[in-house]
């Protein structure tokens, strides 16, 4: 079942925008599954063989004059 990229990215944007500031990103199964799919698809290599259970994400918050931004670092064990 393949979906257009725009649907996946829109879904990720919606998931991230609904996160509470103190939510552990690893506790959101849908976020982990979509992140895993995107890494496997666009980065390839080892990302295609890593089980979603081994995927770990950390929030990195930083600010600028224009506001506060969030990135999520993704790695696997």
Domain boundaries of the chain, sorted by first residue: 5-76
Give the mean model confidence (pLDDT) for residues 29-42. Answer: 88
Residue for token pair 């063989």 = 49
Q: Which residue has the higher pLDDT, 30 or 77?
A: 30
> Would the pLDDT of 6 be above 60?
no
Report d(CA 18, CA 50) in Å as an integer.
Answer: 27
pLDDT digits (tens, 9 = 90+) for 39-70: 889 888 888 888 988 888 887 766 655 555 55
Instruction: Classify residue 8 by burial, with Cβ atoms within 10 Å: 0-12, 13-18, 19+.
Output: middle
Q: Which residue has the higher pLDDT, 68 or 19?
A: 19
Q: What's the topology of domain 5-76?
A: Phosphorylase Kinase; domain 1 (3.30.200)
Split at pLDDT 50, 70, 90, the class of 1 is very low
User: How distant is the alpha carbon of residue 16 from its chain centre?
Assistant: 8
Query: Would you state the structure tokens that stand for residue 17, as one six-digit string?
Result: 């925008």
The partner residues of 21 in beta bridges, in order of sequence, read: none
> Would the pLDDT of 33 be above 50?
yes
């Amino acid at each position: 079942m393949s979906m257009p990229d725009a649907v996946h990215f829109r879904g990720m944007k919606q998931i991230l925008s609904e996160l509470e500031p103190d939510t552990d990103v690893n506790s959101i199964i849908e976020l982990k599954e979509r992140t895993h799919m995107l890494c496997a698809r666009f980065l390839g290599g080892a990302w295609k063989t890593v089980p979603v259970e081994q995927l770990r994400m950390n929030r990195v918050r930083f600010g600028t004059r224009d506001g506060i931004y969030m990135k999520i670092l993704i790695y696997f064990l």
